[in-house]
Amino acid sequence: MRLLYGVVGEGLGHATRSVVVIEHLLARGHELRVVVSGKAHAMMAARFGRRDGIRLDEIAGLELVLEGNEVDKSETAWKNLESLPHTVRKNVDVYRRVAEDGFAPEAVVSDFESWAFLYGLNHFLPVVSIDNMQVINRCRHEDDVTGGGGLAFRFTRTFVKMKLPGAYHYLVTSFFFPPVRKARTTLVPPILRPEILAARRERGEHVLVYQKASALAGVMPLLGKLPHEFRLYGAGKTGREGNVLMQPFSETGFVEDLRTARAVIAPGGYSLMGEAVHLRVPMLAIPLEGQYEQELNARYLDKLGYGRRADLLDEAGIVGFLEGLDRHDAALAGYTPRGNELLFGCVDELLARIAAGEARPDRLGAPAMGKWSEDEAG
C-alpha cells in the first residue's frame, strides 16, 4: 500500500518510535511518504534519506519553550504566533506537493500529527493513529492517577480528543493498561527500538540522570552533595565534576548506561519511561510543569511501584527514592517485557482490513494488551 505517515517533531520520542513502525512497514513492502517537523526531520532524514520506498517532506510544527522545569506558556504561544505566517506557507507548499506529485496515498498513519490527519480527512482516507497520548481520552482512569479528575485532566483529555477525531482505529502504546472505554481502541506495549530490545539488564552502582540544559542550574550542586555516582545526559558539555560524569550524546552509550544503571532520574517523558520499565530500571520522574501527559505517566509509574513521582528534584526526594529501590525492583520483577510483535500484528491487521475496503473495526482480532468491550463503554 501507499501510506502517508505523519510524525510530530517536538522532541524525539515520537520520531524514535515512528522509525520502528516505518522499518516494519518498509519490510512488509509498503511505499511511504513521511511528513515530519522539527529536530525529528534531521534524525529521520539521516536514517531514511537514501532508502528505497520512502520519501520525506519537512513540515513546520509547534515548538515548546522551557524555563527550567516548566513549559513557558506565554513564550511558547508568542514564538509560535510569530512564526505562524512561515508555518502556514511551508505547510501549504508541502500539501500541494504531496497532492500533485502522483503519490496518491491509500491510507494515513499519524503519530499525534495533525498535518497528515487533515490530509487524510480532506481526501477521505482512513487514518490509523499510533501514539501514547490517546490513552488519556480513550481509557478509563481512577481518580488517584488523574488528580481527582480535575481541570488539568479534563482540559488535556479534551485537547487529545480533538487532535485526531474519527480515526479508523487507535493503537495506543503504553506501559500501563487501564480499561479501554472507547471502540476502535487497542492497547499495545511500549514501542521499543532494537537497541533496547537487545539490551540485557545488569544492575550497576551509577544513577543515570537525564535533564534538559535549561533545567540544570541547580542540579549539579545538588548531585554533588550525594554519595553516589551520577552519569548525566543533557548538560551540553562533557567531563567530570566530582561524582558527576557528564556524558556526550550517544545512543549506544545511553543504552549502555541505562541497562546498567542502579536507577534513572528524568522528567516524565513517555519514551524513556517505557524503556526503563522494559529494562526493569527504577525511575524517579519529575514531570515538566504544564505537561499533563508527563504527570499522568509519572502517577502510573508511582502507582504501579515501578518508581516514584516528585514535584521537584531535591535532595530529600533523591535520597528517599534511592533508599526505596528494593521495593521498586520487586514491583518491576512482576512486569513482563515484550517486544514489538503485538504492535506489528495490529498494524498488519488494520492495513489488511483497509486494503479489503472493510469498515472501521470496533475491536481487532490480533493479540493486544487491552481492547474495547461493550462493558467498558462510556
Same domain, 260 and 149: no
* pTM reported for the whole predicted model: 0.91
242 and 149 belong to one structural domain: no
**321 and 343 belong to one structural domain:** no
Q: Are residues 366 and 265 in the same domain?
A: no
Are residues 232 and 105 part of one domain? Answer: no
Mean pLDDT, range 12-30, rounded to an integer: 95
Sign for the CA dihedral angle at 165, 171, 172, 173 comes to negative
- Cα–Cα distance for residue pair 210/200, rounded to 1 Å: 20
CATH number of the domain at 353, please. Answer: 3.40.50
- DSSP alpha helices (H): ranges in the chain? 13-27, 39-48, 73-82, 84-100, 114-122, 135-138, 143-146, 151-163, 194-198, 219-224, 251-259, 270-279, 292-304, 315-323, 325-333, 341-355
Are 264 and 188 part of one and the same domain?
no
pLDDT digits (tens, 9 = 90+) for 49-82: 889 999 999 887 555 444 555 544 455 444 434 5
Q: Are residues 315 and 347 in the same domain?
A: no
- pLDDT above 70 covers a percentage of the chain that reads 87
Query: 279 versus 373: which is more confidently predicted?
Result: 279
- Residue 324's pLDDT is what? 96
State the Cα–Cα distance between residues 167 and 117, nearest whole angstrom. 8
170 and 271 share one domain? no
CATH of the domain at 269: 3.40.50.2000
d(C-alpha 122, C-alpha 338), whole Å: 37
265 with 143, same domain: the answer is no
Q: Mean pLDDT score of the chain, rounded to an integer?
A: 89
Q: How many independent structural domains does the chain possess?
A: 2
CA distance 110 to 119: 11
Q: Are residues 283 and 350 in the same domain?
A: no
Band (pLDDT 50/70/90 cuts) for residue 279 is: very high
Domain of 224 in residue numbering reads as: 199-333
pLDDT digits (tens, 9 = 90+) for 138-158: 999 999 999 887 899 999 999
pLDDT of residue 78: 42
If you average pLDDT over residues 352-371, what whole number do you get? 98
Place of cell 510569530: 82
Among 75-79, 179-183, 298-302, 327-331, the range scoring the smallest mean pLDDT is 75-79
Three cell numbers written together for 270: 513517555
186 and 204 housed in the same domain: no
Considering the chain, what percentage of its residues have pLDDT values greater than 90?
74
All three cell numbers of 217, joined, read 542550574
What does the alpha-carbon distance between residue 79 and residue 82 come to, in Å, rounded to a whole number? 5
Which amino acid belongs to residue 331?
A
Supply the pLDDT for residue 249.
86
Tell me which of 355 and 211 has the higher pLDDT: 355
pLDDT band at 273 (very low <50, low <70, confident <90, very high): very high
C-alpha span between 188 and 371 (Å, rounded): 9
Q: Are residues 134 and 208 in the same domain?
A: no
